[in-house]
Amino acid sequence: MSEASPVVLGIDVGTQGAKAVLYDLSSHAVLAKGSSSNSILPSDVPGRAEQHPATWLQGVREAVAQVLCGLDAARVRGVAVSGQQHGLVVLDAEGQVQRVLRPAKLWCDTESAAEAAELSHTLEWTLVPSFTITKLLWLKRHEPEVFARVACVLLPHDYVNLWLTGRRVMEFGDASGTGFLDVGARRWSEGAMDAVDPRVRAEGMLPPLVGPNEAIGTLLAEVAAELGLPGGILVAPGSGDNACSALGAGLAGDGATVMSLGTSGTLFARSATPILDPTGIICPFCDATGAYLPLLCTLNCTRVLEEVRESFGLEHAELTCLAQSEPPGCSGVTWLPYMIGERTPSWPHATGALLGLRPGCLRPGLLYRAAMEGSTLSLLSGYRRMLAAGLSPCDELRLVGGGANNPLWRQVVADAFQMKVLLPAEADSAALGAALQAAAIVEGATVAGYVAAHPLPSLGQVVTPKTEHKQAYEAALRLFEQMGAHLFAR
């Protein structure tokens, strides 16, 4: 590899911090990685989860500084940003980065549950509180003086793009998580805008929509100076974190599926046609290539296992060893993992429940496995719905996120889904996906064509499902769904 080989920068702005990767256009390898951390603003209001957008910009500065350390920055040709979906960023009429009217309400904020129910009735499809449209209606109802000043609505990655380029736009993949997009027609829905307030449409609060294959602008000189990058480099449109993660995990063919085990659990698959589910369990998203990315998201995933670790004062490695001796299905012990309510199904007021307890069951290994299985079964239930809605089935699953580092969890996923589990070589799949999009645009290719032409390596490890465990997990899934519906379905 030549020292002068060009590189691109991929940035992922998440709930817990920012990550950055440098991708070499000659070797097609990740050269360097950087990260920063941030947290949700403290609040004692149930369901509230907010961050100030300024913390995202600081996180980008820190992560980029790390990846550029020791590198000739003149090699950087382009940049793209992946971002947490759904977050509501509101700006005033001047529409500048510093004109944010209030902290951003995040994807995991469920204060807008009542507004979600109202909009679901009005629009005749089920919207969950995560969606941006519900948060904007919440703002109108609960902070009318702020809503009156709103002139522009952006998502988190759009806000970072505004800082980078001075341009306010929204890309289809991220826009499809707002609830405002007519996914099939790929345009803003006038009915959805008017359901919040006629001002949304009349005053053009939603920015222009852009596709995945063209730069949205060039890096502003003043921001380039802040970041230590060349001014005028191309800025790709980026996308939501799940759409970028799909790129970074190498999704190419229809039905190809990724599961992410993180703070939230997500499962998404590439589809040539939109998968429209009026129940709202499957989100009708666009992907970052011009195709579609039906997705389900659960609010409770790795945090449920953390509850067990904190309760017993044991480390995850020790708990994993104990859990390995427990049987699949946990002998009927079922953990409904809805510690902070749930999005899939849309049960924002649900709580966690541990059922099927008998004497001696309150041992750490069993509870840890029950938490692991409960989080997995929640995703499996949604995946079955996705197949029923028309997704092409696949025989392998790409696993990413922090939970993918746990060998037992990888086996549980393989056994419950009865699919081979592959681990992509690059764990930071969203940041890598953003870099791949930037690479495609710098090289004048389509994003889909570039990803197909440069297949990504896996770790070489394939977890094979144990067919002898299939029956136990089918029974566990039936019990899981029945108990959840009995306790929380309305």
pLDDT at residue number 1: 39
Per the domain annotation, does 14 fall within a domain?
yes
pLDDT at 251 over 80: no
Domain count, the chain: 1
When the pLDDT of each residue in the chain is averaged and rounded to a whole number, the result is 93
Overall average pLDDT of the 398-415 stretch = 94
**Res 249: pLDDT:** 86
Q: Which residues are catalytic?
A: 241
The pLDDT value recorded for residue 458 is 64
Residue 443 within any structural domain of the chain: no
Is 330 within a domain? no
- Tell me, yes or no, whether 11 lies in a domain: yes
User: Which pLDDT belongs to residue 114?
Assistant: 95
**How confident is the model at residue 3, as a pLDDT?**
59
Burial class (CB in 10 A: 0-12, 13-18, 19+), 386: buried
59 half-sphere exposure, CB direction, 13 A CA radius: 26
Domain assignment present for residue 195? The answer is yes
What are the tens digits of pLDDT across the range 187-234? Answer: 999 999 999 999 999 999 999 999 999 999 999 999 999 999 999 999
- Which tens digit of pLDDT belongs to each residue from 80-120? 999 999 999 999 998 788 889 999 999 989 999 999 999 99
Q: What is the CATH number of the domain that holds 146?
A: 3.30.420.40
Would you state the pLDDT for residue 434?
97
Across residues 223-246, what is the average pLDDT?
A: 95
Residue 190 within any structural domain of the chain:
yes
Residue recorded with tokens 């609060």: 205
Share of the chain residues as helix, strand and coil, in percent rounded to the nearest 5: 40, 20, 40
Euclidean distance between the first and final Cα of the chain, in Å? 60
Taking CA atoms, 121 is separated from 423, 440, 446, 480, in Å, by 41, 41, 39, 28
Q: Cα–Cα distance between 273 and 252 in angstroms, integer? A: 14
Q: Does residue 317 or residue 99 have the better pLDDT?
A: 317
Structure tokens at 188: 């803003």
Range of the domain at 176: 7-240
User: Is residue 2 over pLDDT 50?
Assistant: no
What confidence score (pLDDT) does residue 460 get? 63
Percentage, residues of the chain above pLDDT 90: 79
Average pLDDT over residues 110-138: 94
Whether 469 shows a pLDDT value over 90: the answer reads yes
What are the residues whose beta carbons fall under 8 Å from the beta carbon of 343, sequence distance 6 or more?
110, 128, 129, 130, 297, 298, 299
Looking at residue 346, its pLDDT comes to 80
**Considering just the CA atoms, what is the radius of gyration of the chain in Å?**
22
Cα–chain-centroid distance for residue 336?
A: 22
Query: If you average pLDDT over residues 40-58, what whole number do you get?
Result: 95
Residue 149 lies in a domain: yes
Token pair 């969606």 is at which residue? 131
> Does the residue 82 lie in any domain?
yes
